[in-house]
Chains A and B, each alone.
Chain A
Amino acid sequence: MIKIENLTISFDDKKAVSDISLEIKPGEILGLVGESGSGKSVTALSLMGLMSHEAVLESGRVTFGDTCLLKAGEKPDEKMLRSYRGKHMSMVFQEPMTSLNPTMKVGPQVAEQLLLHAKDRYPDAQSRRKCVVETFESVGLKEADSLYDKYPHQLSGGMRQRVMIAMAVILHPELIIADEPTTALDVTIQNQIVRLLKEINERENNSMLFITHDLNLARRICTRLLVMKDGKVVERGDTEKIFTDPQTDYAKKLIAAVPGRVKHPEIDINNSTGNKILSVRDLSVFYKEQSKKLFGGKINRQVVFSAGFDIYEGETLGLVGESGCGKSSLCKAILGINTNIKGSIENKTVRPQMIFQDPYSSLNPVRTIGWQLEEPLYTMDVLDKDIKTDKKWRKEQALKMLERVGLDESYYSRMPSQLSGGQRQRVSIAQALITKPKLIFADEPVSALDVTIQDQVLDLLEDLQQEYGIAYLFISHDINVIHRVSDRIMVMKDGHILEIGDRDKVFEDPENAYTKELLAEP
């Protein structure tokens, strides 16, 4: 049994986790849920003794069976910790793209585990290779033998995560810590990985600590849950009990914010007026790419293949598909950011706008919020001759917009770095809305946000839609978010539009086999 007792860890005198206790029993999957910054990852890393050097262990201890791994006030015994890491407990990380050494073949990276902890059982390279290949097969990797000699970049995200899992299970540790193992993966792959982890847990009867911000996911896999907020455990108990009968306000709020497929009658209004404002016909989008041939020049790579669809005034068209399927390319082509296209785009609105995914990097870090909001206003008088785009008017507009997205006047002179992710995304929305467009492309606008913030931002987008009669093309990989916001749904794969239809029709009776797989409720 693995135990954390009264653990407090601080960075620069700021407590990252305070007075946390938990125990993980054999065979169970304990979920650690909470929003970003709630101290989930620090807790997990402390189990492995892998906190950064700046972390100070103020109180508490971590025990593994009868052994004390970490104790406040005592210098950790690195040698002892190393003998536990990998052998008795192992970790699966969030980012399969960066968590493997890019310059080392994947087989040897996994074999390193055997070399470190089980050299007596696997003395020669051949036996180690055999064991790695077998483990690869057990985690569902095909052609395991040739995979051994591949580099991480030759593998897809899902395959890399399977390699990470192989690395974690090869020595059959008593504890596996999975830190957001599916967050960076596409939906269909996500389901496979979750199923695999659950299967491993049943097969090996080990303990698992499953860290996630995705409550739907936690509900599917975890036996017990620990809800964390600001470094404290606010609620603990059996998963179903927490979901059906949350005790604390925070847990209630968190669970209410989870986008489910339940219909909310009050927000399920179809605002569409039936006027076509955008029609796209036979649109193909290309990117220029350097040819590999001598003097080959540039070649056109097609990313969208004869797309055709319409958007009506005031509606939300949800666009789903896995990463790389051409969703963003389609938007950029319609907005005129990429002009290397064929086909026709008929846009009846002026100034269509875009809201971007990453609120951290899509605002200019050295300009004030006010400046960024005013910037699109400078050219307003080109189309609207009666507008005077002077300083006073611009500031007035910016302040009005700030208020509308729920930020007070003081934000006008602030810098993006002083804002949280949710506030920044509000600024991005204000920036898109300030020129009063009738059509907005929202490219994963809530994917980088925590659930409760996600919920607020979605509410805001829906309110604004009703108020101004805006149509959204709403891109998301999160099926539940799409279900919540969309009137109609469009499914894309490999640059082709597979299906367009009313939301309920697509969800309940999809025509395409791929749609079925993508939208399947796990």
Chain B
Amino acid sequence: MTYILKKIATLIITLFLVSVLAFLAFQIIPGDVVTSILGTEATPEREDALRAELGLDKPPVERYINWATGVLRGDFGKSYRYSKNMNEMMPVADLIGDKLPVTLWLALLSLILTILISIPLGVLWAGTKNKFFDGILNVLTQGSMAVPAFFLGILVTYLFGIIFKAFIPGSYVGYKDDFPGFISYMIFPAIAIAIPKTGMTARFLRNSTLTELKSDYVRTAKSKGVTDGHILFKHVLRNAMLPVVTFLGMIIAEVVAGSIVVEQVFALPGIGRLLISAISTRDFPVVEILILYITMVVIIVYFIVDIIYRILDPRIRVE
């Protein structure tokens, strides 16, 4: 219980610090949302008017406090750039709420693919005595890690979209309109994300399995007459998974925060793309909330990793 309270306390403190830092960063970086909206030709009067409208004429501390109290009340503010209709700016909550499911589905699909493929692959790879299989996997996983994400995206599009005609590139449909169609489109960007992650995880698991195979308890198991397969899956896997769980946590945190390149290549309206455009147009309310979201995701994922770790490794279980 105290463990969970401790974690929640860290979460709150970190979120506060990150929001202050993001706010400060926005004060320092050059560029101004007003010029970005109105262009360089605008009159000073018009600029001042817009500045007053957005509340930017107030001193920074007051602006931060206003924003922070708003967030605490559940009001995430309004985007400076996106409008709902002619007269109203788009609330940040609506904006993100619209794009978040796209990123989350993408993350979920790519993670399922990564875990399903990499774990059996890594263990079998470590267990194999076949030199050919070993060599092929070595080349494939190394290659998958070396190819840049945008090129992989293009490759997947070309292979599945143009050659196999498994999907029509650019034919993204919203999850609200056609869910099965949405998923069947999302599979392909998910593959593009999963390929390098699978390569990395499989290599990582292979190495940790090989290390475990040299340990004393494996020798003990062998002296009992246990078969190699049994040693691999019943004795070694759980121990070898320990470092891999931490590694998977890092991957999860990465994909849940939005895969900017893949979203761009497959024209997906996810939060990765939103973040890029919000930063370049100095859309502060959107950026702040996105940064808080990413921070929270990272902390929560690590918390979950911690719990899984405790389940896998009895040595660090809390009494």
- Which residues of A line the B interface, CB within 8 A? 48, 50, 81-87, 90-91, 93, 95, 98-104, 112-113, 116-117, 151, 153, 164, 167, 292-295
Contacts and interface: CB of A to CB of B under 8 A. Distances in A.
B219 A93 contact: yes
8 contacts: A82-B226, A86-B224, A91-B220, A95-B216, A99-B220, A164-B220, A292-B318, A294-B2
A294 B6 contact: yes
B225 A98 contact: no
Contacts of B226: 82, 112, 116
A103 B220 contact: no
Contacts of A104: 235, 238
Contact of B220 (A84, A100, A117, A153): A100
Nearest to A104: B235
Contact of A50 (B223, B238, B313): B223
Interface of B: 2, 5-6, 9, 215-217, 219-227, 235, 238-239, 312-315, 318
B241 to A, nearest CB: 9
Given A100-B220, A102-B217, A151 B314 contact: yes
- Report which residue of A48, A82, A103, A112 has the largest number of chain B beta carbons within 10 angstroms of its beta carbon: A103
B217 A101 contact: yes
A87 B312 contact: no
Contacts of B215: 98
B224 A99 contact: no
A335 B314 CA distance: 37
A98 B211 CA distance: 13
A103 B313 contact: yes
Contact of B5 (A90, A117, A294): A294
A81 B224 CA distance: 10
A91 B238 CA distance: 24
B150 to A, nearest CB: 41
Given A98-B216, A292-B2, A294-B2, A103 B223 contact: no
Contacts of A151: 314-315
Nearest to B220: A99
A359 to B, nearest CB: 23
Contacts of B312: 103
B307 to A, nearest CB: 16
B313 A102 contact: yes
A86 B217 contact: no
A287 to B, nearest CB: 20
A153 B314 CA distance: 8
A100 B226 CA distance: 14
B5 A85 contact: no
A116 to B, nearest CB: 5
Contacts of A167: 220, 224
Contacts of A82: 225-227
Contacts of B220: 91, 93, 99-101, 164, 167
B225 A101 contact: no
- Report which residue of B2, B222, B223 has the largest number of chain A beta carbons within 10 angstroms of its beta carbon: B223
A62 to B, nearest CB: 15
A83 to B, nearest CB: 7
Nearest to B314: A151
B2 A293 contact: yes
A339 B64 CA distance: 46
A102 B5 contact: no
Contact of B239 (A95, A99, A102, A292): A102
Contact of A86 (B5, B225, B315, B318): B225
Contact of B223 (A83, A91, A100, A294): A91
